[in-house]
Amino acid sequence: MPYDYRHVRDAYDTLKDAGIVSESLPDWSAKMNAQTGSDDYAAGLHDDWIKQASVGVDRLLEMTGLPQLGGAIGSGVGELVGNAEAGERIGADCRGWLLA
């Protein structure tokens, strides 16, 4: 199953920060797809400032610990109705209400 943009971006940034890759995200994603013979890295083929900003906001929020806290609470609430995974995802999605 293809990775989402955030996953591809995180992997790319980690490698780039370590000095392992120097090409752009789209080029690296295309290379990874070719190497793995899949389209797992397709989300990285189209990169722009909107996606970069969006990931930047998410990373800033994660630094505060709020998504992790919301996810833990959500997981607990989700368990009550037998869907801890959905509860964790909804609870962790604090971006919408923080900016509302």
- Contact residues for another protein, defined by CB under 8 A: 4-6, 43, 46, 50-51, 53-55, 57, 73-74, 77-78, 81-83, 86-87, 90-91, 93-100
Give the separation between CA 68 and CA 89, rounded to whole angstroms: 10
CB of 19 to another protein, least distance (A): 26
C-beta of 16 vs 66, nearer to another protein: 66
C-beta of 63 vs 99, nearer to another protein: 99
Structural contact between residues 52 and 46, judged by C-beta atoms closer than 8 angstroms:
no
C-beta of 16 vs 95, nearer to another protein: 95
Structural contact between residues 68 and 89, judged by C-beta atoms closer than 8 angstroms:
no
**Number of other residues whose CB lies within 10 A of the CB of residue 43:** 19
